Amino acid sequence: LMTEKEYEKLMAIDNDEDLKKAVDRFWLSNIKNSRIAKNVIELYYSRVEEANKQFSNYKEGWKTDQGMIYILFGPPWYVDKSSVSEMIWSYSYNFSDPEKNFLFISPTINNKYFPFDNYLLQRNNYYYNISYQQSQLWRSGRIF
């Protein structure tokens, strides 16, 4: 949700208390209403926690492609896992809408050497616009 510059500035902070204050400032500078900001922060962290529960494998769930989409958009309305190596998350009743359906590909099949369900987002140009729009909803507090 942050720009690269905002993220780098945040990562330069080495004190936990100062880091928390900086994160709070980030939200409050974008969302002027503190009540709405509090609700957005709670929703964001609940989605991060859920992403960690559902998608953690060899890395934390929020760092995975599925975790990223889950945090930005919430739980999918429908999941199509008709193939072993592909999964589609839909956020629309129109399954052919490229801006509301996300295709994930599993580059590896579970085996004893890599026992994780790992799906990577099959990126396309539609996703850049829709993820930017969704990020703006978060930053402005209009995600609800």
Each residue's pLDDT tens digit, 123-135: 988 888 899 999 9
Cα 46 to Cα 29: distance, rounded to the nearest angstrom:
21
**In 3D, which of 97, 98, 95, 117 has the Cα closest to residue 107?**
117
Q: With bands split at pLDDT 50, 70 and 90, how would you rate the model's confidence at 115?
A: low
Q: Give the count of alpha carbons within 13 A of 131, CB side only.
A: 17
Model pLDDT for residues 59-107, shown as the tens digit of each residue: 999 999 999 999 999 999 999 998 888 999 999 999 888 889 999 999 8
Mean pLDDT (the chain) is 92
Q: Confirm whether pTM is higher than 0.85.
A: yes
